[in-house]
């Protein structure tokens, strides 16, 4: 069996010759943790980590240090921290600066929110505030937990929009199940907030539900 040093040398050689984009997910993790344990090489340990939580690095999003360490013998606190730090670097690099974001279509909304919201364990309800040019003023978290009319209050949704002189807003929440199909409660809430916005003078231009690899737009489906 090759030593960790030999394995890493081979990965680094491929990185140099072919570019980092050609490395497998397991090879990238191996470069981060640098060392296996007494029974597994660094590449075997990396393979085990990825397979345990899914099929790709994307499935590691939201994992905790405790889960990484307890589920994977051979993972020290330092190795766990290095993986978590690398995932966070990727998350921050992916996110665009909201103040520079202009919403021109539904996919702009999905791109803005999906990385952060696709893998949450609980429902998060957010409101995107827009100015007259559809530039994002702010994205505000309104509530966490099962989304229903008793938890999402009109005053909370529109308070900051009024304060910051928003011209319009976009509603958004995730479905932890991964299925973005709206519930009856989602439909009722959307109508209630749309009607409230018309009275206040702040238009609700869409309500987007984020699933794991899919989304639902009330505007696209002519339900708004």
Domain final residue pick, 46, 65, 94 = 94
pLDDT at 118: 83
For the four alpha carbons of 171, 176, 177 and 183, in that order, the dihedral sign comes to negative
Domain final residue pick, 66, 94, 122 = 94
**Domain encompassing residue 70:** 4-94
Burial 4-31 (b: 16+ CB within 10 A, else e): beebbeebeeebeeeeeeebbbbbbbbb
**Is the pLDDT reported for residue 145 higher than 90?**
no
**29 with 128, same domain?**
no
pLDDT at 98: 47
Give me 73's structure tokens. Answer: 């013998």
Q: How confident is the model at residue 173 (pLDDT cuts 50, 70, 90)?
A: very high
**Is the pLDDT reported for residue 92 higher than 70?**
yes
CA distance 167 to 176: 30
pLDDT in tens, 38-62: 899 999 999 999 999 887 888 888 8
Instruction: Report the candidate in 139, 133, 212 with the shortest Cα–Cα distance to residue 170.
Output: 139
In a domain, 224, yes or no: no
**Is the pLDDT reported for residue 196 higher than 70?**
yes
**Edge-to-edge strands of the sheet including 215-217?**
136-144, 124-130, 168-174, 203-210, 215-217
**Is the pLDDT reported for residue 3 higher than 70?**
yes
**DSSP code for 44:** H
Alpha helices in 36-166 (DSSP H): 42-53, 65-71, 77-94, 106-117, 154-163
In a domain, 222, yes or no: no
Q: How far is CA 147 from the centre of its chain?
A: 18
CA distance 14 to 33: 18
**% pLDDT > 90, the chain:** 73
Q: How confident is the model at residue 97 (pLDDT cuts 50, 70, 90)?
A: low
In a domain, 196, yes or no: yes
Domain final residue pick, 60, 94, 128 = 94
**Is the pLDDT reported for residue 96 higher than 50?**
yes
- Could you give the number of structural domains in the chain? 2
In a domain, 223, yes or no: no
pLDDT at 99: 47
**76 with 140, same domain?**
no
**118 with 213, same domain?**
yes
- Indicate the pTM of the whole model: 0.65
The mean pLDDT value of the chain amounts to 91
């Amino acid at each position: 069996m090759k030593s960790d040093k030999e394995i890493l040398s081979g990965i680094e050689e491929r990185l140099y010759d072919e570019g980092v984009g050609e490395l497998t997910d397991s090879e990238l993790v191996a470069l981060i943790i640098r060392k296996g344990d007494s029974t597994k090489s660094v590449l075997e340990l990396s393979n085990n980590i990825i397979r345990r939580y899914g099929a790709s690095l994307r499935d590691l999003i939201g994992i905790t240090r405790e889960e990484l360490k307890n589920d994977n013998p051979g993972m020290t606190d330092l190795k766990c921290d290095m993986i978590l730090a690398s995932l966070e670097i990727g998350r921050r690099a992916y996110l665009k600066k909201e103040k520079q974001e202009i919403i021109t279509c539904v996919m702009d909304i999905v791109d803005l929110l999906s990385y952060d919201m696709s893998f949450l364990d609980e429902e998060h309800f957010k409101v995107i505030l827009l100015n007259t040019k559809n530039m994002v003023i702010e994205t505000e978290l309104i509530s966490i937990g099962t989304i229903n009319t008793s938890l999402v209050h009109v005053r909370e949704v529109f308070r900051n929009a009024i304060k910051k002189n928003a011209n319009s807003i976009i509603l958004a929440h995730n479905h932890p199940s991964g299925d973005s199909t709206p519930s009856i409660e989602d439909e009722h809430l959307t109508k209630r907030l749309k009607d409230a916005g018309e009275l206040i003078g702040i238009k609700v231009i869409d309500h987007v539900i984020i699933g794991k690899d899919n989304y639902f737009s009330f505007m696209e489906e002519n339900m708004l």
